[in-house]
Amino acid sequence: MTTQVFLDTVGEERPAVSPLKTGAPLEDIAVAGQWRLIWGRFIQHRVAVGAGIVIAVFYFIALFVEFLAPALPEASRPQYTYAPPQSIGLFVADESGGTRFQPHVKGYAIEVDPVALRRTFVVDDTKIVPIGFFVEGPTYKLWGVFAMNRHLIGPLNPTDPMYLLGTDKLGRDLMTRLIYGTRVSMSIGLVGVAISLCLGVVLGSLSGFYGGWVDMTIQRIIEVISSMPTIPLWLGLAAAIPLTWSPLQVYFVITLIVSLFGWTGLAREVRGRFYALRGEDFVTAARLDGSGERRLIFRHILPSLTSHILAVLTLAIPTMIVAETALSFLGVGLKPPVVSWGVLLQDAQNIRTVATAPWLLVWPAAAVVVVVLAYNFLGDGLRDAADPYES
Amino acid sequence: MGIGGMVAKLKADVADTGEPLLEVKDLSIDFHLRTHILHAVRNVSFALERGRTLCLVGESGSGKSVTARALLGIVDRQGRIAGGRILLHGDEGEVDIAQMTERSSELLRIRGGRIGLVFQEPMSSLSPVHTIGSQIIEALRLHRRLDARAARAETVELLRQVEIRDPETMVDRYTFEFSGGMRQRAMIAMALACDPDILIADEPTTALDVTTQAEILDLIKRLQVSRGMAMLLITHDMGVVAEVADDVAVMRYGRIVETGSVDDVFHAAQHPYTSSLLSSTVRLEQPRADIRDRAEALGEPVLSVRSLTKVYGAVSGWFGKSGPALTAVDDASFDLHAGENLGIVGESGSGKTTLGRLILRTVEPTSGSITYRRKDGTSDDVLALSKAGLKDYHRQVRLVFQDPFASLNPRMTVKQIVGDPLVVAGTLRGAALEHRVGELLDLVGIDPRSMERYPHAFSGGQRQRIGIARALALDPSVLIADEATAALDVSIRAQILDLLLDIQKRLGLSFIFISHDISVVRYFCDHVAVMHRGRIVEMGTAEEIVNNPREPYTQSLISAVPNPDPRNKRMLHRTRFKS
Amino acid sequence: MMGRYIVKRLIYMVPTLIGMSIIAFLIIQLPPGDYLTSMIARMTESGENVDPAQVARLREIYGLDDPVLIQYWKWISGILLRGDFGHSFEWNRPVSDLIWERMGSTLAISLASLLFVWAVALPIGIYSAVRRHSFGDYAFTFLGFLGLAIPNFILALTLMYVTYRYLGQSVGGLYSPQYVEAPWSWGKFVDLLSHLWIPIIVIGTSGTAALIRILRANLTDELNKPYVVTAKAKGLPEYKVVLKYPVRIALNPFVSAIGWVLPELISGVTITAIVLNLPTAGPLLLRALVSQDMYLAGSFILLMGVLTLIGMLVSDLLLALLDPRIRFT
């Protein structure tokens, strides 16, 4: 082969690249810590960001339940049993024949089925129920403290019927109840995950860090719990709650039960990562630098874990929400007068009821599915972004 | 056609060497990444000729492996061939592989049929759930349309040709029952199964020990010559190039910077990059100028190791004994003197890394003793130290890690990493800490102004410097460097070694330098201990060990090291060690 | 080699089994008071006479005054030595008379769902991994998310509503009324199938979705391994490369899925059966729990746990058969 030299390559210092988009300047990335890198990766997941916004909206609703709901959850009006959802109209025809801007819903007329002798509601186009924002309505206490009577939306005349999502068998407004249920259902996820986090992280770290018989025992316990089918077990534990307990007590016990079985997955994840990290060179290096056990865990191992834990937690919340819903649906979880999505779905247990009033199934179910879906998308995005250092 | 006949035919073919079988013309490959396009290969041209070996040499990221795979039409998902031709000459004229689609049957006939490929990773490049035999038989049946029985017989014959002992039994074994070298042999058998015209070997020996490397290179070279194949060998090791190449192409950042015959490139390199690559390699092949007077001017021993032994797995478990006991380190004794560089060389599994860990007591020895003498004359029995005493010992005896990526916490800034031992020791804080970190970074050749950056902003060599700065933070007296340069490219490797020597001169340190790479040890160390199967088989000055080894194992080890001089090939005349 | 592995796995199961029995026993013990007290309370409430002598005899038989450990021992040894699961107070029959048929149908429906999960997840998983980022992949991924997000009972209710509303058919139970008591016949079998599809889809959906995701991730990993390039370099066509090597290895999670899908399926059967009123363990368990018939409830929970454990054992053994690396170490 003849010798050939390409001297035009002499000055090259790095591989040739053509930039596709102008990213963050190099200098900026050089001093970016892990959370900035994770954030940078996360916001590239459009779906996950969207899901995060959806969840934020739900928590916002949960926070201002009393103000956002048009009525009170227990206010029942027997004359409006199983009233169907109304739709909002924006313009009404006024006397002079023109149209005028006036948000409204149509009222109900009652028809009696001559054969079944059943009352059914039909929308009565002649009855106009004007509605508005920030209207005065039933008095409530925001967060149990501030007495107020303004509602985000409602009929201008408080005695008029406005049931945007319909009513249940006692004539209670489904939308109001759904909004109140949001607070209970969404918070169960958060509280449950907090308990799981404590159990999972503590036991998982112990297991992963000390190994040996500690690990062995904890692993056995996890194995036993995670190989039990969850629903029978939840049922068994929830059924043991005495009927005499107050709703608040029941709420906390249910949360505890739900989180008791959520922690195993978290503990496994934490243990696995602990194991992997314990063998990492940089941890050995820190040990040789003289770091004690506590410093090793808190300064070197846990910061590498937090993003992963966050992702796993996010994915654990929906299971807890579903668990609460399932238990309440079966009648062994939360019970009325507490309102949660599961309690609402209890009304939809009977197929005949669903056939008469499908909204009783559709809206609570939709709320559950949307939230669970959003959490899964968000958790997935977080998991992908959790380790910004792998290529 | 039987093997005998085939070889006879091929022998006849050998005569007409020089005829180009495959020509690469202006090949360019782009990788479409998220934020940019990486031009991994740019305007690369070369030719493979029957009976000759072309070595494509370059450091990591030079695009050499990408090029090699493209010859088979295998390009990663994000990559695409942006231009150029890959012309394969055959009986029916020439075809352009670059134009073929993934599913074209012509391409499938070429893969494995006319071009065989051998890979770097013998661990992962064979399927773990199929027997070796079935993977080779598959290729035979695909291209040569043999029936099952004939294919099996042929496979056994192929395994015999690649010198696997007892091929009738081994053909039914799984890959995890094979050693690394054996797997690579099986891989070669597979590549050669269908009697290809061209063999592409992509770093075939990088993951192997030096003696195994010598055997595999030897085997490949002999098979190539006897079958009259054209060979493309991808490597980063100039020593390997000198031993097996006829022609050389040097790649850097996706371009070929120089091509020529092996003799021209090694002895009349014209491109500055080629020269620097060669000089980094060759420099490590020669003793340092100051080595002789140093060996005599050694001080008191700082570290004395006596009869250090580590036995694994002798404990009986629930189900009887859990396998035979493994003696990882067996009766190791040596002294490390003040200011001395002691090298510990050995192949994988020789116990050298364990020995390093035993000295630091990150692994507890089974028996033996380690004595550490301080500068003030007091001495400690290291194995009897309390937890606090051990902490203090770890300030004096520090470790430099092999992997510059894993050994720095990616979530901490350089300042935090280098300052961590100082913070733990509680000696410095605030501005004084910052000042000291700056000093240390300066010492290892990193700009102190970049101390707020995170490790991901630095290259491998720079990270290794940061790791060294961390090791130096507490003014240690001994550094244990475990394969500290193994993960680095050759030019960077030389720089790091020089840095360590420079620091030693300034700070009066002693080094224990653990490595599989004899040339590095020779360059760096005063004394060398050779380890084999847990035992130190030979100790002496670096020059003695390299030039005049006494033990048969050392002799085989030294002679297996490729010599970066094509006029003086060493490997092919090596002495073989029979245990 | 294999024999030793099986023995090892069996020994490994023992502590888990003990743990499960403790949990089941705890659930039996959990409700405040014991069932005798609650039974007496109920009986007095409904005006029945309670014979103190009989109560004392029952306390004696069930050892209700013994320490908890001895009670546990009596309970578990009764199960192990005599197959005696205790007495159902509500049905006034031995628990063992009530559970087996129900457990049988639970197992049958779970296995049918497992087959459904496999049959659907395998082709979709392979397709999604090989054609990553294609339209089909995205569509399946979204469906998968949806499948994971919809709780079993909501799906069951929805399907019930839809069939009721649009097909005019009531889908509760496993048989149409005329077949419930009928002997086995072709007609009964067809009738069973026409009822079975809803529970199977309901129970299998989330497992399928999860398995597709796992298979896709695993296969994607495997497709990037060097041995795949080796196989390509041999000249194998793409479909053969994928089917022979990575799919073979990615099948491992498929088999190990038995281990973790089975508890989920049994869980799913429980709740779905309650909604759809299927004659499996679920409705009986719920009823037993609500009426605090704790021996019956505890036995169901214990047996469901044992069932998943057996599933895990089977999956481990299959895995060892499938992957020589596990067999040899």
Confidence of residue B6 (pLDDT cuts 50, 70, 90): very low
Contact C290 A332 (CB under 8 A): yes
Least Cα distance to A330 among A248, A257, A247, A232 occurs for A232
Query: Does the CB of C242 have a partner CB in chain A at under 8 Å?
Result: no
Least Cα distance to C202 among C280, C132, C319, C126 occurs for C280
Query: Does the CB of B178 have a partner CB in chain C at under 8 Å?
Result: no
Confidence of residue B15 (pLDDT cuts 50, 70, 90): very low
pLDDT value at position C35? 61
Half-sphere exposure of A151 (CA within 13 A, CB side): 24
The model carries a pTM of: 0.80
pLDDT value at position A140? 76
- The 3-state secondary structure of B231-266, one letter per residue: EEEEECCHHHHHHHCCEEEEEECCEEEEEEEHHHHH
| Chain segment A6-28, per-residue pLDDT in tens | 777 777 777 777 776 555 555 56
In terms of C-beta density within 10 A (0-12 exposed, 13-18 middle, 19 or more buried), how is residue C290 classed? Answer: middle
Contact C236 B103 (CB under 8 A): no
Query: Does the CB of C234 have a partner CB in chain B at under 8 Å?
Result: yes
Sign of the dihedral through C-alpha B96, B33, B413, B421: negative
Confidence of residue C159 (pLDDT cuts 50, 70, 90): confident
Euclidean distance between CA atoms B224 and B222, whole angstroms: 5
Q: Give the gyration radius of chain B's Cα atoms.
A: 26
Helix ranges, B98-176 (H): 105-110, 132-144, 148-161, 167-170
Q: Which residues of B touch C225 (CB under 8 A)?
A: 124
What number is the ipTM of this complex? 0.79
| Chain segment B532-579, per-residue pLDDT in tens | 888 899 998 888 888 888 888 888 888 888 888 888 777 666 777 665
Q: Helix or strand or coil: residue C204?
A: helix
Half-sphere exposure of B529 (CA within 13 A, CB side): 21
Q: Helix or strand or coil: residue B576?
A: coil
> Cβ distance B571 to B560 under 8 Å?
yes
pLDDT value at position B4? 46
* CATH 1.10.3720.10 residue ranges for chain A: 178-385
Query: Which amino acid would we find at residue A302?
Result: L
| Chain segment A35-84, per-residue pLDDT in tens | 888 887 788 888 888 888 998 998 888 888 777 777 777 777 777 777 77
Q: Helix or strand or coil: residue B345?
A: strand
| Chain segment C252-280, per-residue pLDDT in tens | 777 777 777 777 888 888 888 888 878 88
Q: What chain A residue is nearest to C289 in terms of C-alpha separation? A: A239
Euclidean distance between CA atoms A175 and A367, whole angstroms: 11
Least Cα distance to C207 among C321, C311, C132 occurs for C311
pLDDT value at position B314? 56
The CATH number of the structural domain formed by C99-322 is 1.10.3720.10
Helix (H) or strand (E) run with residue C145 in it: helix C135-149
Between B135 and A7, whose confidence is greater? Answer: B135
Euclidean distance between CA atoms A239 and C34, whole angstroms: 14
- Total H helices, total E strands in chain C: 14, 2
Choose among C16, C148, C271: nearest Cβ to A326: C271
Euclidean distance between CA atoms B348 and B209, whole angstroms: 7
Choose among A223, A231, A373: nearest Cβ to C271: A231
Euclidean distance between CA atoms B553 and B578, whole angstroms: 8
Which B-chain residues 14-33 have CB contacts (< 8 A) with chain A? 32-33
To which residue do tokens 């030979």 refer? B538
Contact C161 A329 (CB under 8 A): no
Task: Kindly state the tokens that stand for B135.
Answer: 């993977």
Task: Kindly state the tokens that stand for A302.
Answer: 């846990």
Task: Kindly state the tokens that stand for B532.
Answer: 């084999």
What DSSP character marks residue B284? T
The end-to-end CA distance of chain C, in Å, is 9
Does domain A178-385 match CATH 3.40.640.10? no
In terms of C-beta density within 10 A (0-12 exposed, 13-18 middle, 19 or more buried), how is residue C126 classed? Answer: buried
Q: Domains in chain B, ordered, with CATH?
A: 291-562 (3.40.50.300)
Query: Does the CB of C185 have a partner CB in chain A at under 8 Å?
Result: no
Biggest CA pair distance of chain A: 104
Task: Kindly state the tokens that stand for A227.
Answer: 């190989």
> Cβ distance B29 to B80 under 8 Å?
yes
> Cβ distance B419 to B437 under 8 Å?
yes
Least Cα distance to A129 among A111, A101, A150, A108 occurs for A108
Q: Helix or strand or coil: residue A4?
A: strand
| Chain segment C6-19, per-residue pLDDT in tens | 888 888 888 888 88
What DSSP character marks residue B509? -
pLDDT value at position B249? 92
Confidence of residue C62 (pLDDT cuts 50, 70, 90): low
pLDDT value at position A295? 84
> Cβ distance A227 to C16 under 8 Å?
yes
Confidence of residue B456 (pLDDT cuts 50, 70, 90): confident
Contact A332 C161 (CB under 8 A): no
> How big is chain B, counted in residues?
579
Contact B121 C226 (CB under 8 A): yes
Least Cα distance to C156 among C205, C113, C112 occurs for C205
The values of phi and psi at residue C95, to 5°, are: -60, -40
Mean pLDDT of A105-122: 71
Q: How many other CB atoms sit within 10 Å of the CB of residue B427?
A: 13
- The 3-state secondary structure of A208-276, one letter per residue: HHHCHHHHHHHHHHHHHHHHCCHHHHHHHHHCCCCCCCCHHHHHHHHHHHHHHCCHHHHHHHHHHHHHH
pLDDT value at position B320? 45
Q: What are all long-range contacts of C16-21, with beta carbons under 8 Å and residues at least 24 apart?
A: C16/A220, C16/A223, C16/A224, C16/A227, C16/C309, C17/C306, C17/C309, C19/A220, C19/A221, C19/A223, C19/A224, C20/A224, C20/A227, C20/A228, C20/C302, C20/C305, C20/C306, C20/C309, C21/C76, C21/C79, C21/C302
Euclidean distance between CA atoms B100 and B109, whole angstroms: 12
Query: Does the CB of A230 have a partner CB in chain C at under 8 Å?
Result: yes
Confidence of residue B54 (pLDDT cuts 50, 70, 90): very high
Question: Which range is most confident: A239-243, B510-514, C118-122?
Answer: B510-514
> Cβ distance A308 to A323 under 8 Å?
no
pLDDT of B8 over the 70 cut:
no
| Chain segment B183-240, per-residue pLDDT in tens | 888 888 888 888 888 999 988 888 788 888 888 888 888 888 888 889 999 998 888 8
> Cβ distance B527 to B295 under 8 Å?
yes
> How big is chain A, counted in residues?
391
In terms of C-beta density within 10 A (0-12 exposed, 13-18 middle, 19 or more buried), how is residue C135 classed? Answer: exposed
Euclidean distance between CA atoms B412 and C249, whole angstroms: 38
Chains that touch C (3 or more CB pairs under 8 A): A, B
Query: Does the CB of A48 have a partner CB in chain C at under 8 Å?
Result: no
Percent of chain B with pLDDT over 70: 91
Distance from chain centroid for Cα B453:
30
What DSSP character marks residue B56? E
pLDDT of A301 over the 70 cut:
yes
The values of phi and psi at residue C291, to 5°, are: -90, 10
Query: Does the CB of B100 have a partner CB in chain C at under 8 Å?
Result: no
Torsion over CA of A317, A320, A326 and A327, rounded to 10 degrees?
-150
Percent of chain A with pLDDT over 70: 93
Optimal mutation site among B54, B67, B257, B400, interface A, most CBs of chain A within 10 A: B257
Torsion over CA of B54, B59, B61 and B66, rounded to 10 degrees?
10
* CATH 1.10.3720.10 residue ranges for chain C: 99-322
Query: Does the CB of C133 have a partner CB in chain B at under 8 Å?
Result: no
Least Cα distance to A346 among C157, B134, B357, B168 occurs for C157
DSSP character string of B118-136: E-S-TTTSS-TTSBHHHHH
C220 Cα to chain A: minimum distance (Å) = 15
Q: What chain A residue is nearest to C160 in terms of C-alpha separation? A: A351
B130 Cα to chain A: minimum distance (Å) = 29
Mean pLDDT of B29-50: 86
B175 Cα to chain C: minimum distance (Å) = 10
> Cβ distance B372 to B393 under 8 Å?
yes
Cα A13 to Cα A8, B62, B200, B271, C208: the distances in Å are 12, 12, 29, 15, 51
Mean pLDDT of B455-481: 88
> Cβ distance B97 to B182 under 8 Å?
no
Euclidean distance between CA atoms C217 and C210, whole angstroms: 11
| Chain segment A191-216, per-residue pLDDT in tens | 888 888 888 778 877 776 777 788 88
pLDDT value at position B119? 82
